[in-house]
Amino acid sequence: MSKTEIQAVLSGLNLHPSRRLGQNFLCDGNLLRAIVRDAAPAPGESILEIGAGTGVLTAGLLAAGCQVTAVEIDHRLHEHLGIRFGDSPRLRLVRADACRLDYDELMGSAPYRCVANLPYSVSTVVLTRLCEAANPPTALLILLQREMAERLTARPSSKAYGGLTVQTSLLYEAHLLRRVPPEVFLPPPAVESALLRLTRRSDAAPAAERRLAGDVARLAFGQRRKRLGRTLASRYGAERVGAALQRLGLDPNVRPEELAPERFIELARLL
């Protein structure tokens, strides 16, 4: 769909894009085709799309023969998608808040991937929930804010490295595929976007350990300027934290951004 066609759809729905919901609609055909090409969806493959919007990406995935589960919170867009795609046997429309969904209940135990133009306003929460699922996506191809993409690809000791970096890195390898200018969206956001690929690691720790490590990382980076020993002591106690750091050969004065993601797994096991 072109920008003019999307404007016509939104006008017909009496819908003014919501910043709170992160409603920036993809309206560039070249980029859309590139996303579908990069995703390389296989016929019959299960794909989760979060923030289906007007259905431009949904249409591309269905044309490739996928089984698409499309999540959309806006009731007007949900209704529009139902009318646009009718009773397509390969599309399951879900009207829900992506921040509150139980993705294990939604997607079951079978493998699936996530391909989405992820709304900026929910990207952190959605990625956290997907990472914490018992059956997370085998891979993700997502459009999101460039700053968020830089956080997910950040290395230890860098400014962008943080709790979300740790949590996603324990499960996925992240690769930034391309930067995306604001002009390909309607309305254009105030910042650049990026297309990011996350591929599940073969050596990922069990889900329970990753959740605990994520908790430790969020606590640590909540006060990233403080020494790690002092920050963790507020929850686990100074003696316990000191013993754990000593066992791992870590200085109590180390800062959280100096630790690689795997070290948070080791810390979580001891704490």
The answer, yes or no, to whether residue 224 has pLDDT greater than 80, is: no
Q: What is the mean pLDDT of residues 6-29?
A: 89
Q: What is the pLDDT of residues 198-221, one digit of tens each?
A: 999 999 989 899 999 999 999 999
User: Binning pLDDT at 50, 70 and 90, where does residue 157 land?
Assistant: very high
176's CB contacts (< 8 A; 6+ apart) are 149, 150, 153, 194, 195, 196
Domain count for the chain: 2
Residues 135 and 161 in one domain: yes
User: What CATH number is associated with residue 212?
Assistant: 1.10.8.100
Q: Are residues 142 and 10 in the same domain?
A: yes
Angle between helices 228-236 and 207-222 (to 10 degrees): 120
Quick one: 117 and 53 in the same domain? yes
- Condensed to tens digits (0 to 9), the pLDDT of residues 254-269 reads 999 999 999 999 999 9
Q: Which domain range does residue 130 map to?
A: 3-200
93 and 127 in a common domain: yes
Q: How far is Cα 118 from Cα 27, in angstroms, rounded to an integer?
A: 14
Domain boundary among 200, 229, 253: 200
Of 173, 200, 227, which closes a domain? Answer: 200
156 and 265 part of one domain? no
Question: Do 259 and 131 belong together in one domain?
Answer: no
Gap between the Cα atoms of 147 and 163, Å rounded: 14
Rounded Cα distance between 173 and 165, Å, is 10
Q: Are residues 99 and 182 in the same domain?
A: yes
Same domain, 176 and 213: no
pTM of the model: 0.92
Mean pLDDT of the chain: 93
Q: Is 268:216 a contact under the CB 8 Å cutoff?
A: yes
Is the pLDDT assigned to residue 21 strictly greater than 90?
Answer: no
CATH number of residue 48's parent domain:
3.40.50.150
pLDDT at 18: 85
Q: How long a stretch of residues is the chain?
A: 271
Q: Write out pLDDT tens, residues 98-146.
A: 999 999 999 999 999 999 999 888 899 999 999 999 999 999 999 999 9
Same-domain pairing of 214 and 165: no
Q: Do 73 and 134 belong together in one domain?
A: yes
